[in-house]
Amino acid sequence: MAGPRLSVAVVLLGVTIIALGQGEDLPCRARDVGIPGRSIVCVCDANYCDTITREAPAPGTFVVYTSSNAGQRFEKSYGIIQTVQDTVEEESSEEIPDSESEEEAISSEEDSLSQVVFRLFRISRYQSIEGFGGSVTDAAAINWRKLSDGAQIKFIESYFSATGLEYNMIRVPIAGSDFSEYPYTYNEEPWYDHALSNFSLTSHDFFLKLPMIKRSQLVATDEVKITASTWSPPIWMKTNERITGFGQLKPEFYQSYADYHIRFMEEYEKAEVKIWAITTTNEPINGIIPLVNFNSLGWTPRQLGRWVADNLGPTVRNSRFNQTLILAVDDQRYIVPIWLAGMAREDPKSIEYIDGIALHYYGNFVHPIILTAIQNQYPGKILLSTEACEGPMPWDREKVEIGSWDRARKYTKSILQDLNNYVVGWIDWNLCLSPTGGPNWADNFVDSPILVYGDQDEFIKQPMFYAMGHFSKFIPRGSVRIRSARQSLVTVENAAFLKPDGNIVMVIQNTRTRAVNVRIRISNSRFIDVHTEAQSIKTIEINDN
Ligand X SMILES: *[C@@H]1O[C@H](CO)[C@@H](O)[C@H](O)[C@H]1NC(C)=O
Residues annotated as catalytic (active site), given as ranges: 283, 387
* Residue 90 CB-density burial (10 A; 0-12 exposed, 13-18 middle, 19+ buried): exposed
Among 123, 189, 376, 397, binds ligand X (CB under 6 A): 189
> Shortest gap between Cβ of 206 and ligand X (angstroms)?
12
Does 377 contact ligand X by CB under 6 A? no
β-sheet with 516-521: strand ranges across: 75-80, 61-68, 536-542, 504-510, 493-498, 480-486, 115-128, 516-521, 526-532, 82-83
> Shortest gap between Cβ of 354 and ligand X (angstroms)?
17
Quote the CA–CA distance of 329 and 405 in Å, as a whole number: 31
Q: How far is CA 234 from CA 89, 270, 378, 522, in A?
A: 73, 22, 32, 55
> Shortest gap between Cβ of 322 and ligand X (angstroms)?
4
Q: Which span (74-82, 256-264, 315-323, 427-435) binds ligand X, by CB under 6 A?
A: 315-323
Closer residue to ligand X in complex, CB, 318/487: 318
Helices (H), 70-177: 84-91, 99-104, 109-114, 138-144, 149-160
Quote the CA–CA distance of 280 and 299 in Å, as a whole number: 9
Quote the CA–CA distance of 224 and 206 in Å, as a whole number: 19
Number of CB atoms found within 10 A of residue 457's CB:
16
Sequence-separated contacts (24+) of 368-371 with Cβ below 8 Å: 368/333, 368/417, 368/418, 368/420, 368/421, 369/421, 370/333, 370/334, 370/336, 370/337, 370/421, 371/333, 371/418, 371/421, 371/422, 371/423
Closer residue to ligand X in complex, CB, 14/190: 190
Among 20, 109, 203, 322, binds ligand X (CB under 6 A): 322
Using omega within 30 degrees of 0 as the cis cutoff, is the peptide bond preceding 234 cis?
Answer: no
Closer residue to ligand X in complex, CB, 320/345: 320
Does 203 contact ligand X by CB under 6 A? no
> Shortest gap between Cβ of 314 and ligand X (angstroms)?
11
Closer residue to ligand X in complex, CB, 190/435: 190
Quote the CA–CA distance of 461 and 466 in Å, as a whole number: 8
> Shortest gap between Cβ of 324 and ligand X (angstroms)?
9
Closer residue to ligand X in complex, CB, 202/523: 202
Does 320 contact ligand X by CB under 6 A? yes
Does 190 contact ligand X by CB under 6 A? yes
> Shortest gap between Cβ of 450 and ligand X (angstroms)?
32
Q: Which span (216-224, 241-249, 275-283, 316-324) binds ligand X, by CB under 6 A?
A: 316-324
Over its C-alpha atoms, the chain yields an Rg (Å, rounded) of 25
* Residue 206 CB-density burial (10 A; 0-12 exposed, 13-18 middle, 19+ buried): exposed
Q: Phi, psi at residue 410, to the nearest 5°? A: -65, -40
* Residue 30 CB-density burial (10 A; 0-12 exposed, 13-18 middle, 19+ buried): middle
CA atoms within 13 A on the CB side of 292: 24
| DSSP-assigned letters across all residues of 44-76 | EESS--------PPPTTEEEEEEEETTS--SEE
Closer residue to ligand X in complex, CB, 109/189: 189
> Shortest gap between Cβ of 181 and ligand X (angstroms)?
16
Does 200 contact ligand X by CB under 6 A? yes
Does 251 contact ligand X by CB under 6 A? no
Does 486 contact ligand X by CB under 6 A? no
**Total interface residues for ligand X by CB under 6 A:** 7
Closer residue to ligand X in complex, CB, 100/189: 189
Q: Which span (62-70, 318-326, 364-372, 436-444) binds ligand X, by CB under 6 A?
A: 318-326
Closer residue to ligand X in complex, CB, 193/222: 193
Q: How far is CA 394 from CA 399, 400, 445, in A?
A: 9, 13, 11
Closer residue to ligand X in complex, CB, 179/184: 184
β-strand pairing of 75-80 with 61-68? antiparallel
What string marks each residue from 19 to 58 as x (binds ligand X by CB under 6 A) or -? Answer: ----------------------------------------
Does 194 contact ligand X by CB under 6 A? no
> Shortest gap between Cβ of 381 and ligand X (angstroms)?
21
Give the amino acid at 114. Answer: S
Does 198 contact ligand X by CB under 6 A? yes
Quote the CA–CA distance of 484 and 479 in Å, as a whole number: 15
Closer residue to ligand X in complex, CB, 318/545: 318
> Shortest gap between Cβ of 242 and ligand X (angstroms)?
19
Q: Which span (317-325, 394-402, 472-480, 510-518) binds ligand X, by CB under 6 A?
A: 317-325
What string marks each residue from 142 to 181 as x (binds ligand X by CB under 6 A) or -? Answer: ----------------------------------------
Number of CB atoms found within 10 A of residue 425's CB:
26
What string marks each residue from 275 to 314 as x (binds ligand X by CB under 6 A) or -? Answer: ----------------------------------------
> Shortest gap between Cβ of 297 and ligand X (angstroms)?
20
Q: Which residues bind ligand X (CB under 6 A)?
A: 189-190, 198, 200, 318, 320, 322
